[in-house]
Amino acid sequence: MIQRIGVIGAGQMGSGIAHVCALSGFEVKLSDIDGDALANAVAGIDRNLERQVAKGKVAETERQATMARITTGSDLAMFGDCDLVIEAATENEEVKRSIFKALVPHLNPDALVATNTSSISITRLAACTDRPHKFMGMHFMNPVPVMQLVELIRGIATDEDTFRAVRDLTAALGKTAAVAEDFPAFIVNRILLPMINEAVYTLYEGVGSVEAIDTAMRLGANHPMGPLELADFIGLDTCLAIMNVLYEGLADSKYRPCPLLVKYVEAGWVGRKCGRGFYDYSKNPPVPTR
C-alpha cells in the first residue's frame, strides 16, 4: 500500500505532483539538486493552496496539514522509506537515466518507481534500474492541480501488481487514468504535439500570423488556448524534445520538427518560462513576436 511518495524534480510538474499527493493525504518528499528550486516550489505550492482556500475548494486546516506533509532535500537517500518515487525531471533521457541509476541503491526492495516523462520509452528507462517490473509511466498533465488526466504506461516488464497500485493511487488523487501503450509520446502528445508543430509550420510558411492562427483555432475549433500560445505554455524546448522523440522513434517525415521551432529554441525563446516565445510576455497583454 502506498503511503509515502517521493518526487524528484521541483519544477512546475514536480511541485504540482507534490501538491496533489500531499493534499490527498500522502506524506511527500520532494527533491531537487537546486536549493532555490526547492524553496520556490514550496512557496508556489503554498500560494496555490491559498488560492484554493480563497475559492472555497480547500479548508485552511487542510492547507496547513498539506504543507506539513511535505519535506524537501537534495540527497536521494531521503527516499529510503518511500513506497513510490516519481521522477519529474527535465524531458531528457540521459538526465533521467542518470537519476534512476543514482536513486535505486537507496530504495527499499518493494518500492515502486514511476516516471512523469511525456514521450520517452518506459521500457528503456525501466531497463536502467534494478526493478523494471516495479517501474511504469505516470504522465501527469500541466498544471497538475487543475488537470484531471494521468496517462498510465506500462513498460514491457511492468507487472500487474505495480500497474494496479499506481492505478489505485491515481484514483486516490482524484484523477482519471487513461492507459496508453509504450509507443513514442503515448496518447496525448502523439496527437497534440504534431498539431502544435503544424501550427508552427503554418506560421513558418506565412499562411497566417501568430494572432490569426491562435484566433482561428480558439474560435474555429473551440480550443481554450491557441496552439502557439499553448506551445509557449508547455515550453518550446519541451515541444521540440517531444517532436524529436516522435521523429526518431517512428521514422515518419510527418513528425519532422518545424525549422522555425528549432530556431526559437536555439535563440532561447522557449516560451512563458523565459518571458519570450511566440509571444513577448514582458508586455501586458503579451504581443506576438512574429
Give the residue numbers annotated as catalytic, written as ranges: 118, 139, 151, 189
Q: Name the strand (E) or helix (H) holding 124.
A: helix 122-126
CA distance 80 to 71: 14
Nearest to 250 by CA among 194, 196, 178, 197: 194
The β-bridge relationship of strands 135-140 and 279-280 is unpaired
CA distance 49 to 87: 23
Task: Tell me the residue ranges of DSSP E strands in the chain.
Answer: 4-8, 27-31, 70-73, 84-87, 112-115, 135-140, 149-154, 176-180, 279-280, 287-288
**Which of 98-106's residues contact partners 24+ apart within 8 Å by CB, and which partners?**
99/8, 100/125, 100/128, 100/129, 101/128, 101/129, 102/76, 103/8, 103/76, 103/79, 103/129, 104/129, 104/130, 104/131, 106/76, 106/77, 106/79, 106/80
